[in-house]
Amino acid sequence: MPKLAHFLKAYLKLGLPNDNRVWLTLEQSHGYAIPVGQFIQIPKVLRGWKDAEPVLPQIKPLLESMPQFSRPYLFGFLLGMILVDAHKLKQGHSDRHIDLVLSKKYETNQRIGDFTCSCANQLGLRMKRYKDKPKPKDKPHGFYQWVSQSSPLLDWIFQECLGLEDGQNTTYNLVAMEWALDAPLDFRVGLIQGIAESDGSVAVASQTVEFWVLPDWEFVIRLLATFGLRGFHNREAVSLVKTQAINSFSVPVFSEHLQTIRYQKLKLMATTKKLNREERLPEEVRSEIQ
């Protein structure tokens, strides 16, 4: 049967989509691109959270639900990882898939990758860990690797949620994600945590939190502002310093669930007792430092 006849068959069964929405299949067969996945309705144009919100409840999770996390949070975290760290590969006319590669320098990076897989699975996408990549000659560590299935849903995320076109990428092209700024708190927390766990850093000595989000500094500054945090563009990063860095722990900008080294550093910086201006270190402590 011709490919278009498969889509016609599905269309006759599904009926008309709601206003300003179209049908999207979550998976197509390789080569001939016959629809073999679940169909969901997606907005033709993503103007705000009200357009994105109805998409999530339609998707059937592949594994058991994760009741400790809302669906918007999981979607936000996955989007943050895709925005910064995950490669959004597209070959020829095939659909995109996610290729996530993280350094083995920190054991907690494995938790990040495994949790990203869980987020993808909850959104109807197969994703699993693949064989680790060996240490290159010029690198001190090897790499963990996770790969997802190809899916038209990832094309929609790339084109509509990130606002990019074929041929563009998140390394050199600005995303268009104004729609995300009016989203509910749990989505925005997931989004900033996905970004932070991908390319965030914490410096306890200088009391600084940085997000290395070249070239999307302005978007991340505006996203942080939705939490009442004042970030600024510094070198190739967005920085939070002193009180703003400490205040970011109340969000928190790093995942409490994952307990990564970045989260531990931010917790140390935010919860350690600090001297008031009029206070001095005890004499014996000052002598020991000297």
Q: Are residues 79 and 194 in the same domain?
A: yes
- 283 in any annotated domain: no
Q: Which residue type does 106 have?
A: Y
**What does the alpha-carbon distance between residue 217 and residue 233 come to, in Å, rounded to a whole number?**
6
**What does the alpha-carbon distance between residue 264 and residue 34 come to, in Å, rounded to a whole number?**
47
Closest CA to 174 of 133, 217, 222, 139: 217
Task: Give the model's pLDDT for residue 289.
Answer: 92
pLDDT in tens, 241-260: 999 999 999 999 999 999 99
pLDDT in tens, 183-225: 999 999 999 999 999 999 999 999 999 999 999 999 999 999 9
Task: Give the model's pLDDT for residue 72.
Answer: 97
Task: Give the model's pLDDT for residue 279.
Answer: 79
Domain that holds residue 18: 1-44
**What does the alpha-carbon distance between residue 16 and residue 10 come to, in Å, rounded to a whole number?**
11
207 is written with which tokens?
């009391």
CB atoms within 10 A of CB 269: 21
Task: Give the model's pLDDT for residue 89.
Answer: 63
Q: Which residue type does 181 have?
A: L
Q: How many domains does the chain have?
A: 2
CATH of the domain at 77: 3.10.28.10
Q: Are residues 80 and 67 in the same domain?
A: yes
- 277 in any annotated domain: no
Q: Are residues 7 and 131 in the same domain?
A: no
Q: Are residues 18 and 64 in the same domain?
A: no
Which stretches of the chain drop beneath a pLDDT of 70?
A: 85-93
Q: Are residues 147 and 249 in the same domain?
A: yes
Instruction: Report how far apart the first and last C-alpha atoms of the chain are (Å, whole number).
Output: 83
